[in-house]
A and B are shown apart, each in its own frame.
Chain A
Amino acid sequence: MFLALRDLRFARGRFTLMGAVVALIAVLGVLLSGLASGLADAGISGLRALPVTHLAFDEKATSEQFSRSTVEEKDWRAWSEAPGVERAEPFGNTLANAQVTQGSRKGEQVNLAVFGMAPGSLAPAPSEGEGLKEGGSGIVITREIADLGVRIGDVLTADKSEVPLKVVGLVDETVSYGHIGVAYTDLDTWRHLHYGLPGDLPEAAGRQATAVALTLEPGADIAAVEKATGTRADTREATFDASPGYAAESSTMALIKGFLYAISALVVGAFFTVWTVQRKAEIALLKALGAPTGYILRDALAQVVAVLVGATALGTAVGLALGSAMIGKAPFSLSAPAIATSSGLLIVLGTVGAVVAVRRITAVDPLTALGATR
């Protein structure tokens, strides 16, 4: 780094400009990561929070399974008896509108992503209040609904079915599905909301759910039970794409990020190409003085890495500061692994771009250090 550091100091104007570009890209990288995590949280955190490995849907529902699939009681019974299946339970999923009819926010309209399940099975333990009970029409709300001012003890009334929903507990975490806060309830209440029917349900509807929530042993062979029940099991992660808008959102974010990294690698590559060409006479001189090519390459790469790491660290810090200010105002969440990946990729791809550029060092002929009089 003998020469690299001194060049950085001497040509600080140029390197500052270059570093500023990288830093701004890093800021954008952090914000995009935050937005991607935020959108993912808003889209599928409810599914991610389910303590299952797979979900089995009606095999005829090949897309948007959560709204198109219906499974029967005999299906989840067959699944629970199949080999390699630790647990199989009915899971209901529906979107519902409700109005606060008792509570401080009386009259407020609330959207609910209703997850129906047997009490004590799939729902997380509430951080306040109580869990679900059979036959009580109780719901356990999550943070997004609580943020609207709904409190434990309030009663919501669902549209159409007019089922009163008593808020019995709160899970104080962002648990959402399709950008709507999740409300956990028992299966019977879920069915009323799903079919929009007041009073007693028809016999057949009382034995239905959206999917079978499964905990499978690793490597379980489930082909037979899938065939017998007419269902298809997807891993929990694979079901994310069935959540409304999730696939489109995440592929858009991935596309933008991909372009960002490509641009960054090209910008860094272009800068160091020009820089290396400018330094040609000095490189020839170094070689004439007996510097091995490896010495010059190491020096140049150390300079690249120093610029990239410094600029990325600065940009990431600024991005984190901006991002913290955005939390709550936009679907935004800061996840350390996602930001580390984004910043790391920026450094790695920038280095790759620069490696292509500084490779020209190997081609410089030390003979050119001798004057033009040859």
Chain B
Amino acid sequence: MTTPATDRRTAPDAAGSDGLRLDDVTLTLGDGDTAVTALDHVGLHVAPGEFVAVVGPSGSGKSSLLAVAGGLQRPTSGTVHIAGAELTALPDRERTAARRRHIGFVFQQSNLLASLTVREQLLLPLHIDGRLDAAARARADELVEAVGLTHRAGSRPHQLSGGERQRAGLARALMTSPAVLLVDEPTSALDRVRSAEAVRLIAEQTHERGTATVMVTHDTAIMDAADRVHEMVDGRLS
């Protein structure tokens, strides 16, 4: 077992780390007769800079995969390693800290906070972590530009289009230089052209910044941008 990677000074950089590794992960929800196996002995390794897509129908366990990989939920059995540290061994408080420092989430329909401008959405994760400084502001500007939202930096979510919101969500997830990027149905609110653009941007950022990226989707049209595609059926990963 490795030391919990909660201190960012001792935590390995995203690049050159071990990425994301799930070993023999099983997640059972509910108990007794109503128990459902959401994840069934899942093993998955995503290297830094690698973009993996997981496709499958609704209810196949895709979101459970993200919940467990992102430390939102403890698996019933099996282990999750992020950047070489065993996430599943951490107590709750440190798991929350690991989420804050080493994991980037891109949620469905982006999930931005209504009262914040695009730039403030990006600054929030660093404010939560108590390191909102000049470097953070510079990084926010750099990321806003990288996702092509410089002209929208001062806009609030209700002023943005679906594609712009998704890009803002991606930029926010990248603010903390996470080792792992987890993307949940990024194209559910977008048309075909915008979907392709959004996924291309995720792929580009993954390769450029060396994150171990997992995207779950039921949209098979956007799989081309991924380096590797897994299919998920009834909690089993192929």
Residues of A in contact with B (beta carbons under 8 Å apart): 2-3, 6-7, 9-11, 281-282, 285-292, 295, 366-367, 369-374
What are 24 A-B pairs at a CB distance below 8 A? A2-B120, A3-B113, A3-B116, A288-B70, A288-B72, A289-B105, A289-B125, A290-B98, A290-B99, A290-B103, A290-B125, A292-B96, A292-B97, A366-B72, A370-B66, A370-B184, A371-B107, A371-B185, A371-B188, A373-B63, A374-B38, A374-B59, A374-B63, A374-B64
B111 contacts partner chain A, Cβ-Cβ < 8 Å: yes
Task: Let me know if A290 and B115 touch, CB within 8 A.
Answer: no
| Complex CA distance for A295 and B125, rounded to whole angstroms | 12
Residues of B within 8 A of A281 (CB): 111
B28 contacts partner chain A, Cβ-Cβ < 8 Å: no
B67 contacts partner chain A, Cβ-Cβ < 8 Å: yes
Selected from B64, B124, B156, the residue in CB contact (under 8 A) with A10 is B156
| Complex CA distance for A348 and B92, rounded to whole angstroms | 32
Other than the known A290-B128, A369-B72, what 7 A-B pairs have Cβ atoms closer than 8 Å?
A6-B115, A10-B156, A367-B73, A369-B111, A372-B108, A373-B108, A373-B218
Residues of A within 8 A of B72 (CB): 288, 366-367, 369-370
The distance from the CB of A149 to the nearest CB of chain B, in whole angstroms, is: 63
Residues of B within 8 A of A282 (CB): 113-114
The distance from the CB of A265 to the nearest CB of chain B, in whole angstroms, is: 26
The distance from the CB of B234 to the nearest CB of chain A, in whole angstroms, is: 14
Task: Let me know if A290 and B96 touch, CB within 8 A.
Answer: yes
Task: Let me know if A289 and B114 touch, CB within 8 A.
Answer: no
| Complex CA distance for A291 and B114, rounded to whole angstroms | 17
B95-133 residues at the A interface, CB under 8 angstroms: 96-101, 103, 105, 107-109, 111, 113-116, 120, 123-125, 127-129, 132
Task: Let me know if B58 and A373 touch, CB within 8 A.
Answer: yes
B93 contacts partner chain A, Cβ-Cβ < 8 Å: yes
The distance from the CB of B40 to the nearest CB of chain A, in whole angstroms, is: 15
The distance from the CB of B133 to the nearest CB of chain A, in whole angstroms, is: 14
The distance from the CB of A187 to the nearest CB of chain B, in whole angstroms, is: 74
Q: Please tell me the size bucket of the interface on B.
A: 35 or more
The distance from the CB of A5 to the nearest CB of chain B, in whole angstroms, is: 9
Asked if A374 meets B67 with Cβ closer than 8 Å, knowing A2-B124, A369-B105, the reply is yes
Task: Let me know if B63 and A7 touch, CB within 8 A.
Answer: no
B51-78 residues at the A interface, CB under 8 angstroms: 58-59, 62-64, 66-67, 70, 72-73
A-B interface pairs (CB < 8 A), number: 92
Asked if A371 meets B93 with Cβ closer than 8 Å, knowing A7-B115, A282-B113, the reply is no
Asked if A295 meets B128 with Cβ closer than 8 Å, knowing A11-B115, A282-B113, A367-B72, the reply is yes
The distance from the CB of A300 to the nearest CB of chain B, in whole angstroms, is: 13
Residues of B within 8 A of A6 (CB): 115-116, 120
The distance from the CB of A284 to the nearest CB of chain B, in whole angstroms, is: 9
Selected from B73, B115, B218, the residue in CB contact (under 8 A) with A9 is B115
Task: Let me know if B185 and A373 touch, CB within 8 A.
Answer: yes
Task: Let me know if B129 and A290 touch, CB within 8 A.
Answer: yes
At the interface, is chain A mostly helix, strand, loop or mixed?
helix
Chain A: CB-nearest residue to B156: A10
B21-43 residues at the A interface, CB under 8 angstroms: 38
Residues of A within 8 A of B93 (CB): 292
| Complex CA distance for A371 and B107, rounded to whole angstroms | 7
Asked if A291 meets B107 with Cβ closer than 8 Å, knowing A370-B66, A374-B64, the reply is no
Task: Let me know if B107 and A290 touch, CB within 8 A.
Answer: no
| Complex CA distance for A370 and B97, rounded to whole angstroms | 18
Selected from B97, B105, B113, B124, the residue in CB contact (under 8 A) with A288 is B105
Chain A: CB-nearest residue to B123: A2
Residues of A within 8 A of B132 (CB): 2
The 5 closest A-B pairs by CB, nearest first: A290-B100, A10-B115, A371-B108, A290-B99, A374-B63
Most buried by B among A11, A369, A370, A371: A370
Chain A: CB-nearest residue to B120: A6
| Complex CA distance for A78 and B127, rounded to whole angstroms | 76
B170-205 residues at the A interface, CB under 8 angstroms: 184-185, 188
Residues of A within 8 A of B64 (CB): 374
Asked if A289 meets B100 with Cβ closer than 8 Å, knowing A2-B124, A3-B113, A370-B107, the reply is yes
Residues of A within 8 A of B115 (CB): 3, 6-7, 9-11
Task: Let me know if A367 and B156 touch, CB within 8 A.
Answer: no
| Complex CA distance for A83 and B125, rounded to whole angstroms | 74
| Complex CA distance for A287 and B113, rounded to whole angstroms | 13
The distance from the CB of A276 to the nearest CB of chain B, in whole angstroms, is: 15
The distance from the CB of B8 to the nearest CB of chain A, in whole angstroms, is: 12
Residues of A within 8 A of B111 (CB): 281, 285, 369
Chain B: CB-nearest residue to A290: B100
Task: Let me know if A286 and B128 touch, CB within 8 A.
Answer: yes
Residues of A within 8 A of B120 (CB): 2, 6
The distance from the CB of B157 to the nearest CB of chain A, in whole angstroms, is: 10
| Complex CA distance for A142 and B157, rounded to whole angstroms | 68
Asked if A285 meets B128 with Cβ closer than 8 Å, knowing A9-B115, A374-B67, the reply is no
Asked if A289 meets B99 with Cβ closer than 8 Å, knowing A2-B124, A367-B67, the reply is yes
| Complex CA distance for A330 and B116, rounded to whole angstroms | 50
Chain B: CB-nearest residue to A295: B128
The distance from the CB of B99 to the nearest CB of chain A, in whole angstroms, is: 4
Residues of B within 8 A of A7 (CB): 115
The distance from the CB of B47 to the nearest CB of chain A, in whole angstroms, is: 23
| Complex CA distance for A281 and B97, rounded to whole angstroms | 20
| Complex CA distance for A172 and B238, rounded to whole angstroms | 96
Residues of A within 8 A of B108 (CB): 370-373
